[in-house]
Amino acid sequence: MKPKAITVGLALTLTLGASAAIPLKLYGQETTADASKRKIRTSEVPEYPSLAKQMNVSGKVKIEATVAADGHVVNTQVVGGSPLLVNSALQALKKWRFEPAPKETTEIVIFDFDRAKQK
């Protein structure tokens, strides 16, 4: 077999193999996200940090929260956001309460710190 034919065949196999796996992965992610949404019973708005105001910092903070079956937040992990805004968002989220559920779930919460709305 010619080297060019082997290269083309290998490239085609890798391309088709990768494209067949992608929809399964995306489907699994969508199902997981939809299944874990719990209603919020009580929430608290984070305080806009004074240093962030002075430095004119705004943006979103994304946090992954582990919520116990009874609805309280038991663990948090920052997924993204400005370090100047993260602590305020974490403090607020730890006070949130969700509706009870049969088991512990993981929720993604996004806080939007918009400097224009803080004036």
113: nearest Cα among 55, 28, 39: 55
State how many domains the chain has.
2
Residue 115 confidence (pLDDT): 67
Tell me the one-letter amino acid at 76: T
| CATH number of domain containing 60 | 3.30.2420.10
Kindly indicate the confidence band of residue 105, based on its pLDDT and cuts at 50, 70 and 90: very high
Residue 79 has pLDDT above 60, yes or no: yes
Q: Are residues 58 and 86 in the same domain?
A: yes
* CA atoms of 91 and 61, how far apart (whole Å): 12
Q: By residue range, what is the domain housing residue 25?
A: 1-35
In sequence order, what are the beta bridge partners of 106? 66
Q: Are residues 56 and 113 in the same domain?
A: yes
Residue 25 confidence (pLDDT): 32
Residue 15 confidence (pLDDT): 42
Q: Are residues 55 and 28 in the same domain?
A: no
Q: Are residues 57 and 112 in the same domain?
A: yes
Q: Are residues 108 and 90 in the same domain?
A: yes
Residue 47 confidence (pLDDT): 94
Which of the listed ranges 21-30, 70-79, 108-117 does the model predict with the highest average pLDDT?
A: 70-79
Residue 114 confidence (pLDDT): 84
3-state helix, strand, coil in the chain (%, to 5): 45, 25, 30
Look up the pTM and report it: 0.67
46: nearest Cα among 81, 6, 1: 81
What is the phi-psi region of residue 53: left when phi exceeds 0, alpha when psi lies from -120 to 50, beta otherwise? alpha
Q: Are residues 103 and 68 in the same domain?
A: yes
Calculate mean pLDDT across residues 55-79: 96
